[in-house]
Structure 1
């Protein structure tokens, strides 16, 4: 598959359509996170940490996501990463949406529904990731940290991402976050699914 340039594009290029795509992607991302938390079969690495912190602090899941996002953004300073409008909206929209969806989506106990929520959450997360990344209005806090560290070292993005996600996964597990089949399925599936979807939604300078 041909590599896609995902550096930010000028906001002057179709701003309304790209902003709509960005907001839809971020809202779906928050919904997918909520689905996986309600499934209780394992979370994405960062969400294992978020859940663990939420249990220890008593704060809502979305509030912890927002606080963690701001903390990650502070790590951008020494690596001289610059946020975009998508970066700021990522913090706000995802944290609000995940709490809203969790409020209306009860925890499931039947295995069939739990599996449906888990698999649906992983698939929706891929659609959401491709949508908001493809809008090219700035990376999310965690994505920017990974690409920023990789750009300023000799490591590949894959190595940096693996190291960071293993670190937050272990930390979240020690704090009581849920690790399970969903964690493994997410780790295996999210990359290929997102890569397959990106060519269909990524904005280019000539689009």
Structure 2
């Protein structure tokens, strides 16, 4: 129980760090992130705000994860909900500064990508499953034996292309993040000697199986 509680604490710390990194890239004002280009495009098609489009995209990507064999954990579900909540909290309370100059904004964006990489390390390492997009990165890293950098860059470039043709906006920062994002993630993971392919996650199906076995044991009078 203590291990589980500490794991969930780590999970939510990771989400908060990810939210800080995301807000840093947003406040840099150099262009939305690659996935947000996709969310914008999806929102344009279905006339939805970007936050709701992001949730819908998350559900779609979960099904893609399952297709490729990536199991779903509680962390996958919580990721879609709480990172958005933390992002709104940081932005509404203006806890992270906004820069208008090009070079301060560029530094903010680059640091944001690095912070986001460490945030992903913290929450994925908790072992409750990766978020929908990170889960796709993890399962494709395992299946292709390619580097995190290569897989992440490839996914984000695809997201930009689809999002652009759906009407999403692309800025200079978007291009930088799509190219450099994978390098920053790989650097962050290497500094803490973290290999996403070696993480043993606890998935929802395992908890359901555990509860089912407990229920059967109670019915048989074995507990």
Could you say which TM-score interval applies, normalised by the shorter chain? 0.7 to 0.9
User: 1:132 is matched with which residue?
Assistant: 123
For residues 50 and 111 of structure 1, the distance between their equivalents in structure 2, rounded to whole angstroms, comes to 25
What is the Cα deviation at residue 57 of structure 1? 5.8
Pair 1:144–1:13, CA change in 2 (3 A)? farther
Q: Which structure: larger Rg?
A: 2
Are 1:25 and 2:25 an aligned pair?
A: no
Structure 1-normalised TM-score? 0.73
Q: Does 1:189 align with 2:184?
A: yes
Q: How does 1:1-207 map to 2 (within 5 A)?
A: 14-54=3-43, 59-105=48-94, 108-149=99-140, 155-158=144-147, 160-174=151-165, 175-178=168-171, 179-199=174-194
Question: Does the CA contact (< 8 Å) of 1:45 and 1:183 recur in 2?
Answer: yes
Give the number of the structure with larger relative contact order, counting CA–CA contacts within 8 Å between residues 6 or more apart.
Answer: 1
Q: Deviations over 1:103-143 (max 9, x none)?
A: 33475423344234212311211220110111111122123
Unaligned residue ranges in structure 1 (runs of 5+): 1-11
Aligned residues: 190
Aligned 8 A contact 1:131 1:198 in 2: no
2-side partners of 1:108 and 1:54: how far apart?
A: 27
Q: Secondary structure at the match of 2:128?
A: coil
The question of whether the paired residues in 2 share the 8 Å contact of 1:19 and 1:135 is answered with yes
Aligned-residue offset at 1:161: 4.4
Give ranges in structure 2 of 5+ residues lacking alignment. 202-223
Structure 1: which 4+ aligned runs deviate by more than 6 Å? 202-205
Aligned to 1:75, what secondary structure does the other structure show?
helix
Q: With structure 2 as the length reference, what TM-score do the two structures score? A: 0.69
- Across the aligned residues of Structure 1 and Structure 2, the Cα RMSD in angstroms comes to 3.2
Q: Give the whole-Å Cα distance in 2 for the aligned partners of 1:59 and 1:67.
A: 10
